[in-house]
Homo-oligomer: A and B are copies of this chain.
Amino acid sequence: MSPKKNGPEPIAPAAPWVPVTIRDVAKVAGVSTGTVSNVLNRPDIVAESTRRRVLQAVESTGFIRNTQAHQLRGGRSQTVGVVVLDVANPFFTEMFRGAESRLQTEGYVLMLASTDGSVEREANFVRAMEEHRVEGVLITPAAAELGALAGLRTRGVPTVLLDRKATADEFCSVTVDDVRGGELAARHLFETGHLELAFVNGPSSVRQCRDRRQGVRKAVRSVSKTKKVEVTEVSVGALTVRHGEDVVERILAMSPRPTAVMCANDLLALGVLRGLASRGVRVPDDLAVTGYDDLIFGSMLSPALTSVRQPAFELGVAAAELLLDEVRNPDHRHREVRFEPELVVRTSSRP
């Protein structure tokens, strides 16, 4: 079992691979490089027997086309860059999956980068992708301003904004109607008899938070014609579990005590649920709770969490579609594809 003297002999690396070029293939097949190229790109214009011979040579040499050389000669890079805020966030990975599913069928390979909200990292990645001559970019901008993307625009790199509306018609974009989403959640609670509502929201600097609040106001206006409802907004510094947990105290101290808590996202809601559980408040019997995002685990909690679903995968597909149009269609016009959020009612808000 154990070797005599030395440790187990490490196996030497495989014999160094000499890159095979189209020239090598040509030599083996006994044709010119032009013919090999033709076999690869327009097989129909070359004689049957020659084609077979060349294909055979490709096989035997293990030739793999060099896309860089191909592209240099005027070809396409077959590459799309995707820049998201956080790869660890399921919302973004779902979007990535959607985009990939569409672009993969067109032969594209995706470059993915995660900025974690850093404008500097974003700039670096975009730069690197431009150097790689990506044919397009799908991006969730890190900054509130789109100035960082000006280069892409002036250089004419097809770009689609993810979950962010372009201010002018500078870019295509795919978004979800957050106003509508906020309205859906609030209205649902009103309609199931909750007239005193606590709305746990994040900082106003976040567009999503602003929009969702606006949706809540809309629901209030519409419902208050027939019923008297009251909404108290409770602001927290960030959309995290901890912030949700910490806010419970304030909610329970409110007078009159609300009968429902609407949270600006699922993580907050999760924190709220934990806070309530530790204080023996039952959900939904004593207090109803809703979240937003419909993260995968929401349905697995007890009680399962009512939430507002965003069609992340479809967003990715739509973004890919817009990009493809911009790449191929000379008459392309920028536009915004807006998705509708969907209320998913579960136990946590069931009457």
Residue-wise interface mask of A (74-99) relative to B, using a CB-CB cutoff of 8 A (1 in contact, 0 not)? 00011100000001101001101100
Nearest-CB residue, chain B, relative to A304: B274
The 11 listed contacts between A and B (C-beta, < 8 Å) are: A10-B333, A13-B334, A62-B151, A62-B155, A79-B132, A87-B96, A90-B90, A100-B114, A110-B113, A111-B111, A273-B302
Report A211 CB to chain B, min CB distance, Å: 20
Q: Which chain B residues border A155 with CB–CB below 8 Å?
A: 17, 62, 64
CA distance A14 to B130 in the complex (A): 17
Interface presence of A324 (CB below 8 A): no
Nearest-CB residue, chain B, relative to A169: B11
Report A108 CB to chain B, min CB distance, Å: 9
A side interface size, CB within 8 A: 67
Interface presence of A205 (CB below 8 A): no
CA distance A109 to B82 in the complex (A): 11
Residue-wise interface mask of A (140-155) relative to B, using a CB-CB cutoff of 8 A (1 in contact, 0 not)? 0000000000010111
Residue-wise interface mask of A (267-300) relative to B, using a CB-CB cutoff of 8 A (1 in contact, 0 not)? 0001001100100000000000000000111001
Nearest-CB residue, chain B, relative to A101: B114
CA distance A124 to B121 in the complex (A): 30
Q: Which chain B residues border A109 with CB–CB below 8 Å?
A: 111, 113, 125, 128-129, 132
- Cβ contact within 8 Å between B334 and A10: yes
CA distance A121 to B101 in the complex (A): 11
Knowing that A72-B72, A88-B93, A107-B128 touch, tell me 4 more A-B residue pairs with CB under 8 angstroms.
A13-B334, A66-B133, A68-B77, A68-B133
Interface presence of A131 (CB below 8 A): yes
Q: Which chain B residues border A132 with CB–CB below 8 Å?
A: 67-68, 79, 109
Known contacts A72-B72, A109-B125, A113-B100, A65 near B131 by CB under 8 Å: yes
CA distance A111 to B69 in the complex (A): 19
CA distance A14 to B241 in the complex (A): 44
Residue-wise interface mask of A (222-264) relative to B, using a CB-CB cutoff of 8 A (1 in contact, 0 not)? 0000000000000000000100000000000000000000000
Report A237 CB to chain B, min CB distance, Å: 19
- Cβ contact within 8 Å between A112 and B114: no
Interface presence of A301 (CB below 8 A): yes
Q: Which of A1-47 contact B (CB under 8 A)?
A: 10-11, 13-14, 16-17
- Cβ contact within 8 Å between A17 and B154: yes
- Cβ contact within 8 Å between A274 and B297: no
- Cβ contact within 8 Å between B113 and A111: no
Report A244 CB to chain B, min CB distance, Å: 10
Known contacts A125-B109, A302-B277, A66 near B297 by CB under 8 Å: no
Interface presence of A221 (CB below 8 A): no
